[in-house]
Amino acid sequence: MGVPLASESRLASLRGRRPTLATLCSHSSLQIFHGARSEGYSTLGLCVGAPPRFYDAFPLARPDRFLSVPSVKELPGVAERLRAEGAVIVPHGSFVEYVGAQTFAEIDVPVFGNRAVLAWESDRRKERDWLELAGVSMPKRYEDASEVDGPVIVKYYGAKGGKGFYLAKNREALEDFHPTGPYVIQEYVLGTRYYMHFFYSPLSDRGYRVGHGSLELLGMDRRDEANIDELYKLGAQEELLRAGIRPTFVVTGNVPVVLRESLLPQAFDVAARIVERSIDLFGGMVGPFCVEGIMTEELDFKVFEISTRIVAGTNLFISGSPYSDLVAPGLSTGRRIAQEIRRGESEGRLNEILS
């Protein structure tokens, strides 16, 4: 038996009925709705204003019903209607970002996963403490610019999509950096990026055992980031800066990747440590999460970020990935979420996977 995350009263709206899986119409919603339908769940699309038309083009992923709000911030106001629908909210990256971590954490509707993770993920320093305690390799952090001894990336707190990040080749180049808010200075790691899509099931008692459950690898991608990814075609950084072009890391898409098979043990070890530490720190991370890092030429995987819910890179694998096909053919992360909820229902253990 795992850790109970949800109280009786939080789950009262689900008593004696099948849940409806609800999410915000954006990010990975097509995959979440498609996965929920494949497992026999009814679906509810939360949208701002009129339902987006693009769902009409995807009949297998269109939610059964829509609930419209004037703005995302007003979602907590429809909590009662959501409970009346028997909704379970499936969070995704944009959902939490648009609603705000604090508001999301307080929404009075059952949510898939452990909402306590938000406090650890939304603060870069707390996230680093978690990863350090887990003993995973990370980019070096400099407390002060005077300690810098190599290329660095300067990140503002809460900066999503890498907008406003500053790259400096060395300490001298950092002198041109004039901060406009709180920031951290991190070693700029040279290597290749991997975004690994894991799923932790506290309910499973077979497979790659971690804690009281098991860990699955469902896919892997690399993000296309504008303008950094194609910048090299224009020449060296100094030239670009002279032309007034600064690198940015705005995600514009995703490409599938696989890791050298001999590196999979390292990937699983890193993910397992992160899960184990999450159990000690806040009762455990549940469901999909993404370990984001850089494999150096010494084959040391340095983690720069973890996303603790379904990431958009999983959209590549709606009909399976080279990894998830070896768990169950054609399995997407969206469908895996619905399967976990179905298992929670049938074993009377929803309180271990919802919060």
Q: Tell me whether residue 82 or residue 153 sits nearer to ligand AMP (CB atom).
A: 153
247 binds ligand AMP (CB under 6 A): no
Residue 51, phi then psi, degrees to nearest 5 = -55, 135
336 binds ligand AMP (CB under 6 A): no
Q: Tell me whether residue 86 or residue 162 sits nearer to ligand AMP (CB atom).
A: 162
User: Which range binds ligand AMP by CB under 6 A, 111-119, 186-194, 320-328, 335-343?
Assistant: 186-194
139 binds ligand AMP (CB under 6 A): yes
188 binds ligand AMP (CB under 6 A): yes
Residue 145 per-residue DSSP state: G
Neighbours of 328 (CB within 10 A): 13
Secondary structure of 230-270 as H, E, C letters: HHHHHCCHHHHHHCCCCCCEEEEEEEECCCCHHHHHHHHHH
Among 23, 31, 186, 351, binds ligand AMP (CB under 6 A): 186
In the block, which residue shows the tokens 């898409």?
253
**What is the closest distance, in whole angstroms, from the C-beta atom of residue 175 to ligand AMP in the complex?**
20
**What is the closest distance, in whole angstroms, from the C-beta atom of residue 188 to ligand AMP in the complex?**
5
- Both tokens of 231, joined, read 């910048």
Among 41, 198, 249, 282, binds ligand AMP (CB under 6 A): 249
- Both tokens of 4, joined, read 């109970």
* Nearest one of 89, 104, 91 to 14, comparing CA atoms: 89
**What is the closest distance, in whole angstroms, from the C-beta atom of residue 144 to ligand AMP in the complex?**
17
Q: Which residues contact residue 59 at a Cβ distance below 8 angstroms, ignoring those fewer than 6 apart?
A: none
Neighbours of 181 (CB within 10 A): 9
304 binds ligand AMP (CB under 6 A): yes
156 binds ligand AMP (CB under 6 A): no
Which residues would be at the binding site for ligand AMP (CB under 6 A)?
139, 153, 162, 186-189, 193, 223, 225, 249, 292, 294, 304-305
